[in-house]
Amino acid sequence: MARTIQAAWLALAALLPPGCAFADDAAPDYRYRLTVEVETPEGLKTGSSVIAVQQTLVRAGSVPANQAVERRVRGEAAAVDLPGDKTLFALLRSDNDPNWAGMVYVLLAPQENKPFEDALDDVLKVTGKRTLPRTWPADLWIQERSAYPMLVTFGDPADPTSVAKVDPDNLAATFGEGVKLKRITVELTDDPVTTGIEERLGWVDKYRKRWLNGKPYIAEDLTTDKLTAHLSAGSFSTEFAR
C-alpha cells in the first residue's frame, strides 16, 4: 500500500503546475507572482513580486485537532512606481492578517469537504492568473475581511516613520486625481523569488527585528493604532525578518 501511495505522489509530481513541488510530508511548496495594476493619467502602471511558500505538515494524525501545516514565506513587497516619484507598496501582510502571503492560495483553493491531508494539494488547483476578490467571505470562525495585501506608501522613502496606509478603494486620496487600483492578481510561477527592495528602502537593514517606530521586535503593541507600531522591515521583505 505504501509503495502504491509513493508511486502515486511521484506521478503527480511530474504533472505539477509551475512553481510547485512536493516535500516528503506531501504538502506542496510553491511560488507565485503577486502583481498590482494601477490606472493613472499616464497609463497603466504595474509592479510585481515573486513569493515562495514552503509548507510542512508538523502534526500528522488521524484526529483533525492533531493536524497542522506550518507555512514559511520568502519574498518581498510588490512596488508600483507612480507619477510624481511616488511608490505604492503591496506588503506581505494584509490589514488583519500578518500571515497573508502564506494564506492567499489556501483561501483561493476550492473549499471541499475532504480529509485534512487530502486537501493539502488543493492550492495546485488554483491555476492561471487569478484576480483577488475584494474580501474573503466569513466562515464559522472569522468574519468577512479584506483579501488584499496591505497597501502603503512613504511621505519620504528615506524615513520609515513616514509610512502611511493607502485605501485600495481610493488611491486618488493619496496619489492624486485619476489614480485608481485596477486589480491585484496572483499566478503560480517557476520564476525565482524577488529580491532587491533594499535598493528602494535603504533603511531596512537598520530595522531588522524592529518595528518602524524603532522599538525592539518583541511583541506587537496592540494599544496603539499608529502604523509604525505594527509594521517592521519584515513587512517588506522576509530577508529582514531574520
Q: How many domains, the chain?
A: 1
Whole-number pLDDT of residue 207: 86
Q: What is the pLDDT of residue 50?
A: 99
153 located within any domain: yes
Contact 93, 235 (CB under 8 A): yes
Residue 224 within a domain: no
Mean pLDDT estimate for the chain: 85
pLDDT in tens, 145-154: 899 999 999 9
Distance of CA 44 to the CA centre of its chain: 22
How far apart (Å, rounded) are the C-alpha atoms in residues 50 and 172? 27
Q: Is position 17 within any domain?
A: yes
Whole domain around residue 81: which residue ranges?
A: 2-196
Could you tell me if residue 141 is inside a domain? yes
Condensed to tens digits (0 to 9), the pLDDT of residues 110-131 reads 877 766 666 777 787 888 999 9
Q: Is 223 among the domain residues?
A: no
Distances (CA, A) of 200 to 88, 122, 177, 236: 12, 36, 25, 11
Q: Residue 70 — very low, low, confident or very high, per pLDDT cuts 50/70/90?
A: confident
Residue 210 included in any domain:
no
Percent residues over pLDDT 90 in the chain: 58
The model's pTM is 0.84
pLDDT digits (tens, 9 = 90+) for 193-233: 999 999 999 898 888 888 999 888 777 888 899 999 999 99
221 within domain boundaries: no
Cβ pair 21, 190 in contact under 8 A: no
What's the pLDDT at 68? 80
Residue 226 in any domain: the answer is no
